[in-house]
Each structure stands twice: as C-alpha cells, then as structure tokens.
Amino acid sequence: MGGRRLRPRRAGRPGRQPAARGHVAPELSGDRAPGAVARRLFVIRSGGERTLRGLFDPWDPRAGETVEIPYYCYAIDHEAGWVLVDCGIHPALLEDPVARLGPQAAMSELVAAPGDDIASQLAGIGVRADQVVHVVLTHLHYDHCGGLCLLPAAEVHVQAVERAFAEAPPVYQAPAYQPDDWATVGRWREATGEVDLFGDGAVVAFPTPGHTPGHQSVHVRLAGGDVLVVGDAAYHPAKMRERRLPAYLWNPDAVVATWEALERRRDRSGATLLFSHYPAPDRLVLAPQAWHPPADTSGNEDEGEACGRPSCSPRSSRWRSSTSS
C-alpha cells in the first residue's frame, strides 16, 4: 500500500481536522502520483422521477409529500479518456416505463424527455458515446445503468458482489434490477475493493455498501478540489448527517458504516459530496457547463429542502413538493 499523502488540500470547513502529513487511512490506499487530477467534471441529468419524500426518511413528518428528484450521472474528462459514473436511464423507458419496469413503475413516476439519454447528453458537451473508455457503476439499479446499451466501447466497472446480487436479487430489491440493462456489456471489470482507474489517483472507485451490498462511490480529484460521487450511498446530506435511514436499503448497519467512512474521507480531503438524487440547487451547475467544486465547502451538505423539520427551510423551487409547487 502506498504511503504517500495526496496533494495538499485547501482549507476545509471549520472544525475539520486537516490530515496529518504522512497519514494514510485505510480508505485511501493505493500508490498515487501527487498532483494528478482530472481535467473537468460534468453533472448530467438523465431523467428523474416523482416519488414520496419518505424515500429519504420514512419517519419524516412530510413523508407523504411528493417530490421530484433527478437521476444524475457524472462525466469526467481525464487526459487518458472519458469516464462516466453511472449512465442514466434506458432509452426504452421513454417509450413505456410500465412495460419495462413492471412493479417498480408503480413506486414512482418517471420524469424524462427525449434527449435525456446519456448519448444525447454527452453530445451536448461535444463527446461521442464511443469516446467513453470507462463506466463506473455505483450499482446496477435501473436508474444508474440503463444507458449501458449506448456505450459499446466502455469497460464497465462494478464491484463483483454487486453483479452477483443483481443477477439474483432478493424480493425487496428485485424490481430495481433490470437484467436487460446490462445485457449488452462485453467488457466487465469486476472488482473487490478499491480501483484506481488510471493509476494516478485522479479517479478512484471504492466500496460503499449499504444501499446495495456492492455499491461503490468514486473519489475524483480536480484542480479546484476533491469530489466524492456517492451515488445512492446517501440520498440526502441532512439525512446522512442526522443518521436518519432511508426507506430503501439493503443493510442499515452497512449504510451507517459507509456514512462514517465517507465522512472520514471527506474530512481528510476537503471533498464535496455529490449525490445521485439530491439536486443541491445552490451548488450544482448542470452540463453542458462544467462543474467546479465550490471554494467554500461549509454549506456542502446543509441543504434542507427535504429535511421535513421546522428548522429546515426550503431554499429552492427546484426541490419541488406537492404542497409548494
């Protein structure tokens, strides 16, 4: 295991302890060249859904309200090639979500339009789908891997346990897995543990189980700061901070352990957390513009739109609810 610390970090939020030079925590293993960074990161919205606020916390006093959440995936421009973290919805969902998803379609209402597919979204930033060399799947739920059929040239990275789980899911998660989503994949890269995609520490996938047993997140180093793309390891930053478990998960203890590990990694690196279904309206700039980490991460996780508590006041109309829109 490498013993080198990553590049110097910018100052973190008050109360964060800067990592001691030379300290290497278990989650930051790997031999990494200091200073290697990805060039750009784009936040891509590939559809979304209307669902119950209770997804994020079934005991939220406003759990019965309807909210619209995005399906975000992330395009990373590395000098050695393009990387996607997740790839959005399958094009067939636009035609008939009920036919494709079956019982899952009844749990939420798809919100998507032509042009939301990953190939169209990539075209919007001047990238052909066949230029994507790596797709890192946080997990294999349909809202994260449906675009695989549009990415024929990519190596597809998953945790091995996730793929095994997806092929024989338990009844409580089976509707979220659509085997046809990954039927076209020819180049699986199944991992057990951390994977440094380019060997330089700029894009590193690492296990974050809980939502599913093989869920993984991605640590991206950009010139402006680090990013943790956490996928569905957490849905909502305030709920994560308050340790309020979501309605949909595989293992609650693993969820909490993953939150603790993500917080340690965040505090070491000063990283900004990016989620799959949290709009972060004040901080996200969607493609075709590139997204840059905020200079001040003090409000990184402090959006309160879906918190459901009196102290949490809505700050953006983009997090819509049935009572506010």
- Of the candidate spans 151-159, 216-224, 231-239, 286-294, the one that interacts with Zn ion by CB under 5 A turns out to be 231-239
User: Which CB sits closer to Zn ion, 139 or 266?
Assistant: 139
By the rule CB under 5 A, 162 interacts with Zn ion: no
- Is residue 63 classed as helix, strand or coil in its secondary structure? coil
Distance of closest approach, residue 234 Cβ to Zn ion, in angstroms: 11
Q: With CB under 5 A, what is the number of residues at the site for Zn ion?
A: 3
- Report whether 38 contacts 202 (CB < 8 A): yes
Which residue from 185, 277, 281 is spatially nearest to 232, judged by alpha carbons?
277
Binders in 270-299 for Zn ion, by CB under 5 A:
276
- Report whether 43 contacts 284 (CB < 8 A): yes
User: Which CB sits closer to Zn ion, 138 or 269?
Assistant: 138
User: Which CB sits closer to Zn ion, 102 or 288?
Assistant: 102
The Cα–Cα gap between 238 and 224 comes to 24
User: Which CB sits closer to Zn ion, 68 or 232?
Assistant: 232
Joined tokens for residue 35: 């200073």
The string of DSSP codes covering 81-136 is EEEEE-----THHHH-HHHHHGGGGGGSEEE--TT-SHHHHHHTTT--GGGEEEEE
Distance of closest approach, residue 33 Cβ to Zn ion, in angstroms: 32
User: Which CB sits closer to Zn ion, 12 or 97?
Assistant: 97
Distance of closest approach, residue 277 Cβ to Zn ion, in angstroms: 6
- Of the candidate spans 12-20, 42-50, 53-61, 229-237, the one that interacts with Zn ion by CB under 5 A turns out to be 229-237
- Of the candidate spans 98-106, 139-147, 243-251, 288-296, the one that interacts with Zn ion by CB under 5 A turns out to be 139-147
Task: Express the helix, strand and coil content of the chain in percent, nearest 5 each.
Answer: 25, 25, 50
- Of the candidate spans 120-128, 152-160, 228-236, 297-305, the one that interacts with Zn ion by CB under 5 A turns out to be 228-236
- Report whether 77 contacts 41 (CB < 8 A): yes
- Of the candidate spans 19-27, 96-104, 123-131, 268-276, the one that interacts with Zn ion by CB under 5 A turns out to be 268-276
Distance of closest approach, residue 144 Cβ to Zn ion, in angstroms: 6
- Of the candidate spans 114-122, 185-193, 269-277, 293-301, the one that interacts with Zn ion by CB under 5 A turns out to be 269-277
User: Which CB sits closer to Zn ion, 226 or 232?
Assistant: 232
3-state secondary structure 150-193: HCCCCEEEEEHHHHHHHHCCCCCCHHHECHHHHCCCCCEEEECC
Distance of closest approach, residue 159 Cβ to Zn ion, in angstroms: 16
By the rule CB under 5 A, 143 interacts with Zn ion: yes
By the rule CB under 5 A, 226 interacts with Zn ion: no
By the rule CB under 5 A, 181 interacts with Zn ion: no
Measured between alpha carbons, how far is residue 65 from residues 111, 232, 306, 312 in Å?
A: 17, 21, 10, 15
- Is residue 239 classed as helix, strand or coil in its secondary structure? helix
By the rule CB under 5 A, 232 interacts with Zn ion: yes
The Cα–Cα gap between 118 and 150 comes to 7
**Interface contacts to Zn ion, rule CB under 5 A:** 143, 232, 276
